Amino acid sequence: MPFVTVQIAKGHSVDQKRELAKALTDTLVSTLGTKPEWVTIHIDEFERENWAVGGELHSDKPGKGGKHHT
């Protein structure tokens, strides 16, 4: 009964989340042989001022506003 938590930056549309949840579930089914109804996906969004790599807040990095920087 896999439980998957995906931590990504805020700013994704419901369509993107729908596609993501479906694709991740399919991936678990195909790689682990589990059933889709046993898979739970939790999308846990964070604000960029709450995430840091190398000691620098994501919101302080130049050009980190787009969806490609999730």
The catalytic residues are 2
- Output the smallest distance, CB 58 to a second copy, in A: 7
Which residues make up the interface to a second copy (CB under 8 A)? 1-9, 12, 14, 16-28, 30-34, 36-46, 49-60, 67-70
| CB contact at 8 A, 48 and 8 | no
SS3 37: helix
- Output the smallest distance, CB 5 to a second copy, in A: 4
Dihedral of the alpha carbons of 67, 7, 11, 36, in degrees to the nearest 10: 90
